[in-house]
Structure 1
């Protein structure tokens, strides 16, 4: 059991699994090219089975080492579900569902690389704040959709003919995709004050709100990093204390030996 534990916690083993996940991702991408997949179909299937077996063995070994504690980590549960789902569905007619599980294996890169785990954790921690920001953005979209439909439904009915079309148009403007030449300038030629509507919407939605979301994620990522550094400092302090205790014990032993002599 000690050998298995040293194996699954070894950095070289984790690097091998990470490389295998990335290699599996490349294979899945190559399968989208019909000429390559049709010519080497057998090789793709054999390699995929070997990779799946290795992933299954990895999960089994980790369960043997950590037992119930394995399922206390959400990332371990994520790995377990993906591997188990792939195994169960491999010989079934549910090919489309199996493909989903095979593609989801790429996400195991997150579980294998600590920095990616921190980023995703920061994203989840920011969900409450992001939800509030999204609610404010929804209100802003709604207000501007009503205004846009009222002002420009006759000038550009294909973009502002009704509130649904206006929502789609605002989303295109929000992404800054061809909004100036395709939407703004034709309206601006007939309505000179249209720049005020478009620019205020872009500044409020695309710049301010997105920066709020990104800022919250960055703050959470920094918080996680600070917590890890704090834990590391505590471990270093404990290690130094243990070294000092060992040194004192050794000195006591030497003192006792000298007195006994």
Structure 2
């Protein structure tokens, strides 16, 4: 029974069905934000939402039944459990805010779709390198914010009047949001301010932020290489098994040939086994 359940849960059609349920549930949760749709089809949306939740719970219980002690060892199983547990939490009193978290069920696509799982695994693999880049970016932002506050605080106090304000303005500049108007506002009083903004944008936008992409791309390549190595190991194991079976088959064929030669020699060595006994020998070979 457990093996049948495993085959059913891991079947490709069942996985596609779960993906369809997740997409349908995400669509219904989105439609619940439209008052006109809720007024006309609110009961139907609730039924679909509850049905999807029951399907997710049944799938989770089936996985627990199949994997047993191995279930908590898989991080994706823990992820699915947390998502379903949030959906099962009561929506009354102080926990009513959890109702809005039902949309987190759409994140179950990350654990169901293999390509998305590889992307998330690559991002997690890149976290150590990304943390170093975040530290570098924070240091650059802090130094630039202190300089901008001292240089341009009196000129544009609403932009650089304090350290927190300067940090927000420089973060806005780093993302390319209206940085031209910010620079021109300061340049009306400080014509050489373009040098500061140009250097800041070059360092943050074109150097540090691109390092994020480099780290993520490197992690994606490592993830793909690990997947290819796993596939190669599986293919090598299959090839070794086939070669071992062929070797055993050749050995059996060789042994059968040796036995046949011994039988032919015994028959030939019997009195009357040669010449006229050929017909009897052929008949005995036919029987064998």
Q: TM-score range by the shorter chain?
A: over 0.9
TM-score (norm 2): 0.85
| Alignment match, 2:30 | 29
Which string of whole-angstrom CA distances, capped at 9 and with x for unpartnered residues, describes residues 138-169 of structure 1? 11111111111111112211111111211111
| Alignment match, 2:197 | 198
Deviation at 1:258, TM superposition (A): 4.5
* Structure 1 residues not aligned, in runs of 5+: none
* Secondary structure at the counterpart of residue 188 of structure 2: helix
> 1: distance between equivalents of 2:89 and 2:179?
48
* Secondary structure at the counterpart of residue 177 of structure 2: coil
> 2: distance between equivalents of 1:235 and 1:124?
25
| Alignment match, 1:112 | 112
* Structure 2 residues not aligned, in runs of 5+: 261-288
> 1: distance between equivalents of 2:131 and 2:14?
39
Deviates more, 1:240-249 or 1:228-237: 240-249
Larger C-alpha radius of gyration, 1 or 2?
2
| Alignment match, 1:208 | 207
Deviation at 1:117, TM superposition (A): 1.4
- Asked if 1:232 corresponds to 2:231, the answer is yes
Matched ranges for 1:80-159 at <5 A: 80-89=81-90, 92-93=92-93, 94-100=95-101, 102-159=102-159
> 2: distance between equivalents of 1:238 and 1:70?
26
Deviates more, 1:131-140 or 1:243-252: 243-252
Deviation at 1:254, TM superposition (A): 3.6
| Alignment match, 1:251 | 250
| Alignment match, 2:44 | 43
Return the structure number with greater relative CO, CA threshold 8 A, min gap 6: 1
* Secondary structure at the counterpart of residue 154 of structure 2: coil
RMSD (CA atoms): 1.6
Deviates more, 1:24-33 or 1:245-254: 245-254
